[in-house]
């Protein structure tokens, strides 16, 4: 067994929280620049220019990209030959989030669902763990803003509704969300599995490098189709109208029950924040 | 959005200034604006329901739907972009009735809010969502004036200079989102 110290995990998570909230990924920046180059709507182009400037200011390390520094969502790929020593894995992760949000001057946005009392340190983080072969630990951090998360949906279609039903649901969701989730948005779609699996697939789809196409050519073609239909909504940057409503559509697929066709749409704002590290 | 130069406005806003605004106009706002979002709105309306006064002057004022990230030492604020406005829809008409003249946020408002803007002569402005670092530069001071227990949701009195915003819903029933999007919508065969 390879040993990893709990405090090394805490330190890594802390740094991921700060890094993700101050440094917009190159994949996202490139997508915003492309959209700005090709956008024909002047108001939308002006918004895209502001987003580039905003990213440059944030990169200086004083002001995070957005005041909504998100729910801390952590995806772990834990090698089965890894043993965490010097403390529990779960607490090491939560402590990393606590330290990252404190030391990074990030907003504490987590509260009790009924009393609305703030937990004060942005914990608990949502943690997803996958056990994989090997002796490494990969941690991916994706702070998720509330405005775009609120626009996300899961539905259980019937098999008869098929791909057309999936498209209708996804595009309708984007249309109804309109200007709310800070377009140009990134759209994560999960199809198949169970109720919760579809949602998880949609969220994981958002972690893929923006602009990447699915490895399966059939799925990639469906991504293209969704991309075209979403751009046709005309919502545009900030909802002011334009050709770029989305910066990218990522679709993840999983087998489902013969009775079901679960579909989840997880919408991300233009600040599609995600950072990763492997220990 | 119009190509004309941004309109400079100072708060508190006069009704006739607001009536002159059209959807799509760009504005630069200077003066005091108050931040308030979800729970703060609920509390403001609860105060009105109980016949009590509000913690700030409301006549002619502007509320910014925002909850900033913490200020670093030496800074007056952290990042401070708009939050999504529809969550404040159940409360806004009550505040408009009391003389609130403007709101800054992002995203669509309900029919009731848009009607209240027309009835009372008020405006809904959009600031660029996700540009909180950029917008922080327009903030000269920030001070918590109510509901400190709410942390990022507390009401802050901001002093802003040339805060950039766009008229989404004017006092005459127009909506920039509807007009702008209609121009770029492509009807699908399916």
Task: Tell me whether residues A105 and B181 touch, CB distance under 8 A.
Answer: no
Nearest to B33, CA basis, from B119, B130, B127, B109: B127
Q: Taking all residues of chain B, what is their mean pLDDT, rounded to a whole number?
A: 95
Query: What CA–CA distance (Å, rounded) separates B137 from A244?
Result: 27
**B152, B69 in Cβ contact below 8 A?**
yes
**Gyration radius of chain B's alpha carbons:** 16
Q: Are residues A90 and A167 in the same domain?
A: no
Q: State the alpha helices, DSSP H only, in A82-144.
A: 89-103
Model confidence at B188: pLDDT above 80:
no
**A151, A267 in Cβ contact below 8 A?**
yes
pLDDT band at residue B189, thresholds of 50, 70 and 90?
Answer: very low
Whether the CB of A100 is below 8 Å from some CB of chain B: the reply is no
**A140, A72 in Cβ contact below 8 A?**
no
pLDDT at residue number A213: 95
Going by the DSSP 8-state scheme, the letter that residue A7 receives in this structure is H
Nearest to B127, CA basis, from A54, A150, A233: A54
Model confidence at A79: pLDDT above 90:
yes
How many domains are there within chain A? Answer: 2
**B132, A67 in Cβ contact below 8 A?**
yes
Interface test with A, best of B79, B127, B149, B163 (most A CBs within 10 A): B79
Asked whether residue A204 is domain-assigned, the answer is: yes
pLDDT band at residue B165, thresholds of 50, 70 and 90?
Answer: very high
The last residue of a domain, from among A119, A143, A167: A143
Residue A277's SS3 state is strand
pLDDT at residue number A4: 97
In this predicted model, what pLDDT tens digit does every residue of A233-259 receive, in sequence order?
Answer: 999 999 999 999 999 999 999 999 999
Question: Which residues in B lie closer than 8 A to residue A150 (C-beta atoms)?
Answer: 84
Q: Are residues A178 and A251 in the same domain?
A: yes
Q: Are strands B102-105 and B123-126 parallel, antiparallel or unpaired?
A: parallel
Cis peptide before B157 (omega within 30 of 0): no
Give the closest-approach CA distance of B159 to chain A in angstroms.
18
The last residue of a domain, from among A94, A121, A143: A143
Question: Which residues in B lie closer than 8 A to residue A147 (C-beta atoms)?
Answer: 83-84, 106-107, 129
Query: Treating both helix axes as pointing N-terminal to C-terminal, what angle do A162-177 and A217-231 enclose, rounded to 10 degrees?
Result: 40
Asked whether residue A32 is domain-assigned, the answer is: no
Q: Are residues A132 and A177 in the same domain?
A: no
The average pLDDT across B160-171 equals 98
**B99, B58 in Cβ contact below 8 A?**
yes
Q: Are residues A129 and A150 in the same domain?
A: no
Question: Which residues in B lie closer than 8 A to residue A69 (C-beta atoms)?
Answer: 69
Q: Are residues A133 and A150 in the same domain?
A: no
Question: Which residues in B lie closer than 8 A to residue A63 (C-beta atoms)?
Answer: 69, 75, 78-79, 132-133, 136
Asked whether residue A56 is domain-assigned, the answer is: no
Model confidence at B167: pLDDT above 70:
yes
Model confidence at B3: pLDDT above 70:
no
- Structural domain range at position A11: 2-20+65-143
B113-to-A254, B64, B124, B169 alpha-carbon distances in Å: 43, 15, 9, 10
Q: Are strands A73-79 and A137-141 parallel, antiparallel or unpaired?
A: antiparallel
Query: Number of residue pairs across A and B with CB atoms under 8 Å?
Result: 174
pLDDT at residue number B2: 56
Give the closest-approach CA distance of A1 to chain B in angstroms.
41
Give the number of other CB atoms < 10 A from CB of residue A93: 25
Query: What CA–CA distance (Å, rounded) separates B36 from B57?
Result: 13
Note the ipTM here.
0.93
Cis peptide before B49 (omega within 30 of 0): no
Q: Are strands A137-141 and A82-85 parallel, antiparallel or unpaired?
A: unpaired
Q: Are residues A125 and A219 in the same domain?
A: no
**B68, B80 in Cβ contact below 8 A?**
yes
Asked whether residue A46 is domain-assigned, the answer is: no
**A249, A183 in Cβ contact below 8 A?**
no
**Gyration radius of chain A's alpha carbons:** 19
The last residue of a domain, from among A116, A143, A170: A143
In this predicted model, what pLDDT tens digit does every residue of B84-102 receive, in sequence order?
Answer: 999 999 999 999 999 999 9
Asked whether residue A224 is domain-assigned, the answer is: yes
CATH class of B7-184: alpha beta
Nearest to B184 among A46, A51, A242 (CB): A242
Q: Are residues A93 and A117 in the same domain?
A: yes
pLDDT band at residue A143, thresholds of 50, 70 and 90?
Answer: very high
**CB contact residues (below 8 A), chain A span 21-50, against chain B:** 41-43, 46-47, 50
**CB contact residues (below 8 A), chain A span 130-189, against chain B:** 146-147, 150, 164, 167-168, 178-182
Q: Are residues A15 and A137 in the same domain?
A: yes
Query: What CA–CA distance (Å, rounded) separates B187 from A37?
Result: 24
Give the number of other CB atoms < 10 A from CB of residue A192: 18
Q: Are residues A11 and A133 in the same domain?
A: yes
Nearest to A64 among B38, B79, B152 (CB): B79
Nearest to B131 among A54, A179, A180 (CB): A54
Q: What percent of chain A has pLDDT over 70?
A: 100
Asked whether residue A98 is domain-assigned, the answer is: yes
Q: Are residues A119 and A187 in the same domain?
A: no
0.90 exceeded by pTM: yes
pLDDT at residue number B4: 79
Nearest to A173, CA basis, from A149, A192, A195: A149
Task: Tell me whether residues A65 and B128 touch, CB distance under 8 A.
Answer: no
Query: What CA–CA distance (Å, rounded) separates B186 from A243?
Result: 10
Q: Are residues A109 and A201 in the same domain?
A: no
pLDDT at residue number B187: 76
pLDDT band at residue A110, thresholds of 50, 70 and 90?
Answer: very high
Model confidence at B1: pLDDT above 70:
no
Task: Tell me whether residues B180 and A241 touch, CB distance under 8 A.
Answer: yes
In this predicted model, what pLDDT tens digit does every residue of A201-239 receive, in sequence order?
Answer: 999 999 999 989 999 999 999 999 999 999 999 999 999
Write out the DSSP string of B97-110: HTT--EEEEBS---
Q: Are residues A152 and A76 in the same domain?
A: no
Query: Domain extents for chain B?
Result: 7-184
Asked whether residue A71 is domain-assigned, the answer is: yes
């Amino acid at each position: 067994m390879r040993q990893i110290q709990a405090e090394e995990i805490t330190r890594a998570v802390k740094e991921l929280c700060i890094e993700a909230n101050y440094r917009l990924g190159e994949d996202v920046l490139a997508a915003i620049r492309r959209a700005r180059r090709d956008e024909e709507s002047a108001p939308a182009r002006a918004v895209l220019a502001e987003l580039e400037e905003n990213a440059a200011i944030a990169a200086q390390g004083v002001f995070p990209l957005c005041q909504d520094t998100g729910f801390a969502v952590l995806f772990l790929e834990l090698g089965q030959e890894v043993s965490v020593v010097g403390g529990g894995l779960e607490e090491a992760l939560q402590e990393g989030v606590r330290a990252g949000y404190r030391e990074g001057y990030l907003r504490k946005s987590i509260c009790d669902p009924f009393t609305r009392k703030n937990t004060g340190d942005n914990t608990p983080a949502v943690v997803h763990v996958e056990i994989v072969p090997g002796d490494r630990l990969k941690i991916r951090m994706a702070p998720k803003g509330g405005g775009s998360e609120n626009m996300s949906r899961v539905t259980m279609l019937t098999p008869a509704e098929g791909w057309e039903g999936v498209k209708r649901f996804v595009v309708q969701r984007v249309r109804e969300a309109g200007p709310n989730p800070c377009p140009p948005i990134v759209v994560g779609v999960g199809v198949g599995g169970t109720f919760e699996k579809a949602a998880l697939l949609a969220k994981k789809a958002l972690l893929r490098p923006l602009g990447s196409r699915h490895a399966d050519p059939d799925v990639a073609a469906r991504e293209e189709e969704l991309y075209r239909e979403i751009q046709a909504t005309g919502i545009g940057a900030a909802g002011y109208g334009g050709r770029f409503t989305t910066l990218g559509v990522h679709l993840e697929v999983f087998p489902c029950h013969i009775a079901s066709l679960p579909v989840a749409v997880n919408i991300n704002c233009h600040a599609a924040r995600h950072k990763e590290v492997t220990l | 959005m119009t190509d004309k130069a941004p309109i400079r406005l100072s708060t508190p806003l006069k009704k006739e200034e607001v009536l002159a605004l059209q959807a799509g106009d760009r504005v630069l706002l200077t003066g005091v604006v108050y931040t308030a979002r979800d729970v703060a709105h609920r509390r403001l309306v609860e105060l009105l329901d109980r016949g009590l006064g509000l913690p700030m002057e409301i006549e002619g004022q502007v509320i910014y739907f925002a909850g900033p990230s913490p200020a670093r030492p030496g800074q007056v604020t952290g990042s401070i972009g708009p939050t999504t406005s529809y969550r404040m829809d159940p409360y806004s008409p009550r505040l408009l009735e009391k003389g609130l003249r403007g709101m800054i946020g992002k995203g669509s408002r309900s029919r009731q809010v848009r009607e209240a803007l027309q009835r009372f002569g008020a405006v809904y402005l959009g600031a660029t969502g996700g540009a909180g670092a950029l917008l922080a530069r327009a903030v000269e001071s920030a001070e918590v004036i109510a509901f400190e227990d709410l942390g990022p949701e507390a009401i802050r009195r901001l002093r802003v200079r040339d805060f950039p915003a766009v008229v989404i819903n004017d006092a005459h029933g127009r909506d920039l989102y509807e007009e702008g999007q209609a121009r770029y919508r492509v009807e699908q065969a399916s």
